[in-house]
Chain A
Amino acid sequence: MKAFAYIRPQSAEAAAAALADNDGALIKANGIDLLDRMKERVDEPNALVGLVDVEAFDSIEVEEDGGIRIGAGATLAQLAASQVVERFLPSLAYAAGHAASPQLRTRATVGGNLGQHTRCGYYRHKSFPCLKRGGDHCPVLKPGGVQDTAAIFGNGTCASASPSSLAPVFGSLDAVLTVRRGEATREVPFAEAWAEPKAGWASDLVFDREDLIESVHIPARAEPQRLGYEEVRQKAAFDWPLTACGVRLVAEGNTVKEARVWLGSVAPTPLRSEAAEKVLVGKSFTEARARAAGEAAVTGASPLPGNTYKVQLTKVVVRRALMQAWGRS
């Protein structure tokens, strides 16, 4: 990889300043994703701003109103082991505890997990053309392209699939990201954090180079929440899910009052399924309804010849995540 400067600020403010002062500098959490990209020369930054020394960046706190704030530096292992997360956000604990591998989870951070780039093999190897890397087309879409893990939604220009298994959970929780640029911070609703694929835009996030995710905020709720997460992975570890779904339900008796259904690994970004939500809200919850929500979730899917099976997987994870959520009260 190309030589680079390594800056290790002690605070988020100093990190933001370092990003502003060093043109082309990239944020490095623990580098699991970033260093791979650099070794492949997909990214060749002249400086890295490392977050390891940023104080209290890994805290997981319950706020006074009951909201939960997760520092961007918290690791997946921390999420999986946290009593707060286990108790209030079991779907997040499960997703974090099953991602990647035990070793990786001890290093993989929440910020890096949301910031990780697609695992598309074409994007990852510079010898291939790639729209995200500035090319004029996505080779995955051609007959003869390798399509098995590609997106089945929103894949008209780029078929990359969003890799994060935390993302659909955060989506279902209506999370809000606290993002710092320079001295200012702003609150970005999760749904607004993602960018449609376009030529030369490698990240799945809308943020630009200088935007630092400081924390993820899960808003407090008055009513009890029923949370669920389901995924399908071919290998039990050291691999990403083929499909994932995070759900949140609020019930009144047997009736669903509120529903959030988010999908992971099926589109270039995490994807909310309002179609699935519509099937549920205002109706009494039954397994048949959960199944119908799964069917609704795949309306509008545009699978490629090599990944039609992901449509079936998506229906199943939606139904199973809903059943799981409902079973938890």
Chain B
Amino acid sequence: MARKVTYLAGIEGAERELTVEVHDLDADPWPLGAKLKYVGTEVPRLDGVAKVTGVAQFTQDVNLDKMAYAGEVIAPHAHAVVKSIDASAARAMPGVLAVRTSEGKRVTYAGSSVAAVCATSREVLADALAAIRVEYDVQPHAVTVEEALKDEVRVSPRRSNDTAGGRGGAMRRGNPDAALESAEVKVEAEYRTAIQTHSALEPHGSVVSIDKEGNATVWASTQATSGFAGGRLLRALELPRGRVRVITEHMGGGFGAKFGAQSWDVLCAEFAKETGRPVKYLLTRRSEHLVGGNRPDSIQKLTLGGTKDGTFTVLAGETWGTSGNGRGGAGCANFMGYTLPSVRMLQHTVSTFTARGAAFRAPRHPQGFFALEGAIDAFAAKAGLDPLAVRMKNDPHPVRQIQWKIGAERIGWKRNHRKVAGSDKGPVKRGVGCAAGRWSQAGRGNWSVDLTIDSSGHVIVMNGAQDLGTGTRTLLAICVAEELGIPPATIDVRVGDTRYPPGPGSGGSTTAPSLGPAAREAGLRAREALAALLGVEWKTDSEKVTLEDGVFKGPGGKKATFQEACGLIPDEGLRVRGTRRRNYDGYNRETAGCQFAEVAVDTETGVITVERVVAVHDAGRLVNTMASRSQVNGGVIQGISFALYEERQLDENLGDMVNPTFDTYKIMGMADCPQIDVVLTTVVSGFNSIGMMGLGEPATVPTAGAIASAVYNAIGVQVRQLPMTPARVLAALEGRQQ
């Protein structure tokens, strides 16, 4: 069943032979240097035209006959009991189909639903929601970590508001106490990051429709079509999973906050059952910011110690953050990437009266690396060493060692890194900085991709997984195209529908490496099937039929184009399935990545302008370099936004969010976008037949750290709190951190 394959893997300059055991049905892994026609090239996304012309249908665009609209009244209090609700005016409105109220409910975060309406139009819905009067008995609350830690009994929505060390939050390695004692160079500082909301352009929500036979179709904005219809939704619909079809044809962003059906989707289903109409509910922008998910904040106290020559020996730290009324999730990846022989880390997730945090593009990482890289910069300064040299000295990753050099060259480190930080003349000072990132994802699951071809040569490739906008459709086409020798654009890819074989949820940068190998195998199986048909036609052994440059060839100069070969397909068509099996051994479990930034800081106003970012990344073998670049651009943009602008601002007395719209919640726009120089290093990573890994998350990990590092180089003091607003930059310059 299994065979051994030995092949060259890794990156040019640090390649290595891998011997792996692959399943008999698995395709041979492509080695480093394999000549491939489509994989690893620039392929424009297949749905690009549909998207820019408005043809692509997002959940918001689904409009059905007799469709009704649902919405909710949300509490503006962090902690309150609903005393009474007067919905009589709403109930009496023509067009109002159903009203629900939650008298007596204890609200534990602003944005929590206290009443819901289903109506025949958006307009009636809005009027009805506005006409509902709710009276609250407001209770004491704490919405910040510091308040919550002050007075535990008064403020905790849970029995204990501090889940210290929960879920990976405690870590000990080596001999931290002795190492701290003996460290020749030691720096200690506190770093803070703010709560960032997911802010996907497309809000959460769904359209639920139940047909005459009682089967349900749900159009949902989800990162997990196959996993979307879970217990609560199925119970609301009173249907088994097999009778609920979930469709996500196109998606307008998720970033980790859109997996299974949530309360609003369940509400939609309940209203659909109750009213007998299709019901649509997409959250308002205010609810998106309040309850749609967020990246927990952090307070990170770090001590980094090492020797005078710049070798790290120890990292010790304690962190606090809030994931709202959730139990865990506020940890920080501030002890990873570098060689740290001794580590002592304790991380607290503090519960507050705010809505729950959610996985957010590289959970724990951007905030963790911001702090860790800050500590490294401080360490290098104290030791009198070049901060890049210190990083390279302590970096165990062979790929990142190459990437540091590429990045340094591109940013002009020698020229542009100020030997004396803050030494530029005049009020506007420039500097460059750098930071590392990491991730680990080579795909998982035994997903299958189905492929059909008819006698006209029309190829359809199917998997139920959604395309988040990352280019999954195009990726599947490329993997199949490589095996069939036909251009990716000629392949008809169908995704985002549970009618097709189930696919992975898009979390942890899994989708591409989980589905790519299955698609490749589907292509391979189809090629074998075509070869078999030609073998019969040419009266030869199908093994002797080869595919070269898109032309099938057989003994005796026999030739057939792809089209001609497909002409042999019988009426019932050709149908094959490619399956992904377990991962085998690989080159390095971690993807590397590093970024360099060049900034200009106006020291009189505190305004930071990011002028250039060089982002050097790897993700195994890159299937579509154009889509990969786009992923990195997006990661950098989101990272700059996190570093400089984004912050959920809560009024501490009222517990509600003061900036729940895009004119008040500052998020990066085009005018703030620097030149982004993306460098992609191809690494044949092993693990699967393509040797590919995930890229979505690693691309946003180093950005904030790199910008903070550049700011430090420009002005000579660290800004240790994100976002680095003018107020915080000026405070740092004045010697007081806010």
Contacts and interface: CB of A to CB of B under 8 A. Distances in A.
Interface of A: 1-3, 36, 41, 101, 119, 121-122, 124-125, 127-129, 139, 142, 144-146, 148, 232-239, 242, 307, 309, 312-313, 316
B651 A145 contact: yes
Interface in B280-297: 286
Q: Is the interface of A mostly helix, strand, loop or mixed?
A: loop
A235 B651 contact: no
B663 A309 contact: no
A32 B604 CA distance: 32
Nearest to A120: B658
Contacts of A139: 651, 653-654
A234 B726 contact: yes
A304 to B, nearest CB: 12
Contacts of B668: 235
Given A2-B127, A122-B658, A234-B645, A313 B671 contact: no
Contact of B730 (A119, A129, A309): A309
B671 A236 contact: yes
Contact of A234 (B607, B664, B731): B607
A279 B661 CA distance: 42
Contacts of B663: 36, 119, 238-239
A125 B660 contact: yes
B671 A235 contact: yes
Contacts of B645: 234-235
7 contacts: A124-B664, A129-B654, A146-B649, A234-B607, A238-B662, A307-B727, A313-B605
B126 interface: yes
Interface of B: 76, 123, 126-127, 130, 286, 604-607, 609, 644-645, 649-654, 656, 658-664, 666, 668-672, 725-727, 730-731
Given A139-B653, A235-B671, A235-B672, A316 B604 contact: yes
Given A2-B127, A119-B664, A145-B651, A128 B605 contact: no
A145 B653 CA distance: 7
A237 B727 contact: no
Contacts of B659: 121, 146
Given A125-B286, A146-B649, 7 more contacts: A145-B651, A145-B652, A235-B671, A237-B670, A242-B726, A309-B606, A313-B605
B660 to A, nearest CB: 7
A13 B314 CA distance: 78
Nearest to B74: A127
B726 A313 contact: yes
A307 B664 CA distance: 16
A238 B663 CA distance: 7
B731 A309 contact: yes
Query: Of residues B650, B654, B661, B666, which shows the largest number of chain A Cβ atoms within 10 Å of its Cβ?
Result: B654
B169 to A, nearest CB: 28
A174 to B, nearest CB: 28
Contacts of A144: 651-653
Nearest to B661: A124
B658 A312 contact: no
B605 A316 contact: yes
A142 B659 CA distance: 17
A128 B656 contact: yes
Query: Of residues B604, B607, B658, which shows the largest number of chain A Cβ atoms within 10 Å of its Cβ?
Result: B658
B730 A312 contact: yes
Contacts of A242: 726
Nearest to B724: A234
Contacts of B650: 146
Nearest to B665: A121
A119 B662 CA distance: 12
A121 B649 contact: yes
A234 B658 contact: no
A128 B654 contact: yes
Contacts of A101: 669, 671
Contact of A238 (B130, B653, B671): B671
Nearest to A230: B605
A121 B664 contact: yes
A124 B669 CA distance: 22
A312 B663 CA distance: 24
A9 B530 CA distance: 71
B68 to A, nearest CB: 19
Contacts of B658: 121-122, 125, 128, 146
A245 to B, nearest CB: 12
Nearest to B641: A235
A293 to B, nearest CB: 15
A232 B727 contact: no
Nearest to A308: B727
B666 A235 contact: yes
B653 A1 contact: no
Contacts of A1: 126
A14 to B, nearest CB: 29
A101 B672 CA distance: 11
Contacts of A122: 651, 658
A105 B76 CA distance: 34
Contacts of B286: 125
A36 B127 CA distance: 16
A237 B669 CA distance: 7
B731 A236 contact: no
A236 B651 CA distance: 26
Contacts of A127: 76, 656
B672 A236 contact: yes
Nearest to A148: B727
A142 B658 CA distance: 14
Contacts of A124: 661, 664
A1 B121 CA distance: 12
Nearest to A316: B604
A251 B557 CA distance: 93
A316 B602 CA distance: 11
Nearest to A243: B605
Interchain residue pairs A-B with the least CB separation, the first 9: A144-B652, A127-B76, A237-B671, A121-B658, A236-B671, A309-B727, A146-B658, A146-B649, A316-B604
Contacts of A313: 605-606, 726
B638 to A, nearest CB: 15
B651 A146 contact: yes
